[in-house]
């Protein structure tokens, strides 16, 4: 057995034969990261011209080199002999390139839980995979609960093998209401292109460390498998919608005025209804004033939210999404996510990954978790990050030095 660098075709053929679906172990991502601060390498363990294991390896372009296999190796983690052989070759290969250590975050499932965090499925092979990795020399870096790792340890994934109208029915009722509300107000979802990505970046730059070129490159390198969606508010439609709502509400308030003035046993209840109706009437009047100004300032409409979706084999992956907070009350993001789910479902894909979540006990991210889980997704919990030391002497020297933090990346 020997470790060799693979061509893109060799890597793709092997990956396809394994049935793996991951944007982070793809030749598209390989090209993107070559434009970032990494050397991207495709390697495979070969025996008698057969590839037995493979991986995309990223090596940092820095004086202190570290490596990273995003979403782990393409290998059977339950085969200890194979894992040992691949690990020995990887360690030797990286040591020759003066790499101190390599980190991996394989998609080895620990648990799958439903929207109430009840265990829906437990991986019976998990303990064996964990044992094999530690036996092969990998150090498990702990079960992080938020976003401390290289990639999220929890992800929200939706099964698309049922019809999209069933998918909609399974969405939380409150979210279905928000989706319908967005459409009623004049929000429409469109497909865009790279010229629109700057808007998306402006909405996410405060929470995402990546630069705009990263998202541009992801869109370009994934080509037809990159989908950019955005929502737009039709300001004329919104004004018309509010005018109709206002007429209906004024009629209802007039009716309640008559009812309250009459003396009957339901007077107290009707008085409460009248007070609530007046509040809604005043809210609509304020909204009408706002909508009139929006139409004047933005006669061609307003872009309110956007998302970038990537496809790898039978899986869609929501790379990132964001919305303009000034227009959050239009529920654009809710409609956007649903329309993306509907779109990729009609493509015949098997699942959509809505991206990272956290452990349910992380109160800071309660809103994020709820937003993703309410689309009837399942929460996939993975093994987390592991590290393999390739050059022990230098590794421990740097761990004790003032620049040790680079090894925590």
Contact of 27 with 35, CB cutoff 8 Å: no
pLDDT given at position 116 = 74
C-alpha angle 196/200/201, rounded to 5°?
Answer: 110
CA 103 to chain centre: 21
Q: 2-108+122-145+383-408: which CATH topology?
A: Aminopeptidase (3.40.630)
Across all residues in the chain, what is the average pLDDT? 91
Question: What is the rounded distance in angstroms from the CA atom of residue 200 to the CA atom of residue 205?
Answer: 9
Task: Indicate whether 133 pLDDT > 80.
Answer: yes
Alpha-carbon dihedral sign for residues 270, 276, 279, 283: negative
Q: Which residue is listed with tokens 């990273």?
A: 68
Lowest mean pLDDT: which of 114-118, 290-294, 348-352?
114-118
pTM of the entire predicted model: 0.90
Residues 41-80 have pLDDT tens digits of 999 999 999 999 999 999 998 888 999 999 999 999 999 9
pLDDT given at position 37 = 86
Residues 276-286 have pLDDT tens digits of 999 999 999 99
Task: Indicate whether 260 pLDDT > 70.
Answer: no
pLDDT given at position 403 = 46
pLDDT given at position 407 = 43
Question: What is the rounded distance in angstroms from the CA atom of residue 169 to the CA atom of residue 172?
Answer: 8
Question: What is the rounded distance in angstroms from the CA atom of residue 293 to the CA atom of residue 196?
Answer: 25
pLDDT given at position 406 = 46
Average of per-residue pLDDT across 98-112: 95
pLDDT given at position 86 = 98
Neighbours of 402 (CB within 10 A): 6
Residues 304-350 have pLDDT tens digits of 999 999 999 899 999 999 999 999 999 999 999 999 999 999 999 99
Residue of higher predicted confidence among 274 and 402 = 274
| CATH superfamily ID and name for 156-234+301-381 | Gcn5-related N-acetyltransferase (GNAT) (3.40.630.30)
* Phi, psi at 208, each rounded to 5°: -120, 125
Contact of 100 with 394, CB cutoff 8 Å: yes
pLDDT given at position 392 = 82
Task: Indicate whether 39 pLDDT > 70.
Answer: yes
pLDDT given at position 398 = 74
Residue 408 pLDDT grade (very low, low, confident, very high; cuts 50, 70, 90): very low
pLDDT given at position 266 = 54
Burial (CB < 10 A; 0-12, 13-18, 19+), residue 226, is buried
Lowest mean pLDDT: which of 217-221, 262-266, 359-363?
262-266
Q: Provide the percentage of residues in the chain whose pLDDT is more than 90.
A: 78
Lowest mean pLDDT: which of 174-178, 245-249, 403-407?
403-407
Contact of 326 with 290, CB cutoff 8 Å: no
Residues 166-202 have pLDDT tens digits of 999 999 999 999 999 999 999 999 999 999 999 999 9
CA distances from 201 to 138, 215, 348 (A): 36, 8, 29
Task: Indicate whether 21 pLDDT > 50.
Answer: yes
Residues 138-173 have pLDDT tens digits of 999 999 998 888 899 999 999 999 988 899 999 999
């Amino acid at each position: 057995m020997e470790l060799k660098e693979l061509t893109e075709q060799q890597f793709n053929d092997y990956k396809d034969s394994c049935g793996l679906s991951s944007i982070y172990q793809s030749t598209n991502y390989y090209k993107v990261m070559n434009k970032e601060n990494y050397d991207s390498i495709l390697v495979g363990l070969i025996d008698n011209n057969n590839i037995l294991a493979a991986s995309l390896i990223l090596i940092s372009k820095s004086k202190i080199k570290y490596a990273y296999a995003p979403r782990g190796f393409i290998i059977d983690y339950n085969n200890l002999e194979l894992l040992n052989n691949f690990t020995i070759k990887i360690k030797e290969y990286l040591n020759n390139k003066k790499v101190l250590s390599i980190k991996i975050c394989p998609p080895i499932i620990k648990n799958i839980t439903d929207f109430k965090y009840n265990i829906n499925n437990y991986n019976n092979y998990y303990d064996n995979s964990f044992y094999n990795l530690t036996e092969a020399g990998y150090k498990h870096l702990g079960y992080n609960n938020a976003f401390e790792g290289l990639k999220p340890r929890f992800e929200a994934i939706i099964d698309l093998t049922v019809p999209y109208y069933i998918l909609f029915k399974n969405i939380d009722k409150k979210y279905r209401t928000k989706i319908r509300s967005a459409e009623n107000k004049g929000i429409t979802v469109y497909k865009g292109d790279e010229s629109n990505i700057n808007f998306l970046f402006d909405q996410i730059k405060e929470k995402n460390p990546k630069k705009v070129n990263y998202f541009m490159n992801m869109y370009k390198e994934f080509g037809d498998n990159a989908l950019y969606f955005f929502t737009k508010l039709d300001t004329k439609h919104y004004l018309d919608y509010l005018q109709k709502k206002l007429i209906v509400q004024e009629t209802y308030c007039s009716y309640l005025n008559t009812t309250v003035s009459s003396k009957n046993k339901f007077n107290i209840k009707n008085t409460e209804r009248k007070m609530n109706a007046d509040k809604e009437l005043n809210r609509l009047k304020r909204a009408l004033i706002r909508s009139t100004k929006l139409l004047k300032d933005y006669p061609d409409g307003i872009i309110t939210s956007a998302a970038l979706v990537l496809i790898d084999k039978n899986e869609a992956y929501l790379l990132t999404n964001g919305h303009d907070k000034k227009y959050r009350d239009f529920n654009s993001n809710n409609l956007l996510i649903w329309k993306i789910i509907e779109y990729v479902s009609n493509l015949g894909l098997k699942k959509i990954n809505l991206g990272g979540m956290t452990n349910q006990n992380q109160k800071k991210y309660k809103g994020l978790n709820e937003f993703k889980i309410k689309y009837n997704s399942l929460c996939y919990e993975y093994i987390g990050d592991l590290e393999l030391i390739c050059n022990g002497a230098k590794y421990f020297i740097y761990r004790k030095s003032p620049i040790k933090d680079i090894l925590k990346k």
